[in-house]
Amino acid sequence: MSLHVVVPEESDALPFTVEPSGVQVASKEVPERIHQILAGLQDGGAVVAPLGGDSLSRAERLVAAVHDDALLHYLRHGVPEGRESALDDAFAAPGLDQETPVTRAVWPAALSAAAAAVRAAELTARQRRNSYALVRPPGHHAGPGWHGGYCFLNSAVVAARTLREEGAARVGILDVDYHLGNGTLACVQNDPTLPFASVHSSDPGDFPYSFEPGPGLFGVPSDPGTEGFLALVKDAVSHLRQEDVDALVVSVGYDVLLGDPHGSWTLPPDVFGPVAALLTEQQLPTVFVQEGGYGLPSLRGAARALASEASR
């Protein structure tokens, strides 16, 4: 059974970020990430599926259900005339400064990413095949009324809501990115039909810097190593199974790997093989959604390892 991959159109929506000093820094969220990951997924047996005809309109409806009107208006229209970008702390996550600017390319890119998540979820629900929304920009730091951390719209929550509309009673969201998906957590915390679990760094120096511990949050303050990481993923999956989920959305972050510029762990690319094997063993309809992963040399191998198991 092939893993079906949905890829939105390429975009240069995020050319730079802003340091606390105000200095612009070239973004590491670059198109080459997707090229490397797609090559790896295809190495592992995945096949590309086209974006569906009505996915964009369905995505627009769903992002309006996930996010506040004020945030959506800002992402569409927030760049002043004569400026290339906007940076507004009013749309930063609680307790954080905004470091991710909005450009005019952000809205079409983020909405296209959400549409890819919709299409991937439709394929999984209707054809009972695992799917992979290979999106950029990522989305798991986008909350109900904020964006940040390279994220603008929460594609994982959009995918989960699509699965709900397609008939799943409870959709578990598993986040295995190096960073806590604070936006995803905030979007679903009052929705019992979308239980959330995350394996992430809880080092207070890592984005999103500080957060309250809670059920389903499997954070560790230092590198867990391969066996420790796999044990944490197993615990997170067990947590979701106890919530009686009948489908999964997996926020995939390759920034847990050795050498990632936004992480500090030392996991090898092939760790995503046993991660995917554990997930396929659950025999649940599963949608993978791309989040982080910025160490270009590691991405192809990690994606190959995941696809080799998820395509079985």
Closest residue by Cα to residue 64 from 144, 172, 150:
144
Give the residue numbers marked as catalytic. Answer: 141
Q: Give me 254's structure tokens.
A: 């390759």
Query: What contacts 118, CB < 8 A, 6 or more positions away?
Result: 52, 55, 58, 59, 62, 158, 159, 162
CA triplet 218, 312, 133: central angle to 5 degrees? 60
Contacts of 104 (CB under 8 A, 6+ apart): 79, 84
Query: From CA 310, how far away is CA 277, in angstroms rounded?
Result: 7
Which contiguous run of DSSP H or E holds residue 108?
helix 106-127
Neighbour-count burial for 29-64, b at 16+ CB within 10 Å, e otherwise: beeebbebbbebbbebbbeebebbeebbebbeebbe
Please give the backbone phi and psi of residue 165, each rounded to the nearest 5 degrees, phi first: -65, -25
Q: Are 179 and 138 in contact (CB under 8 A)?
A: no
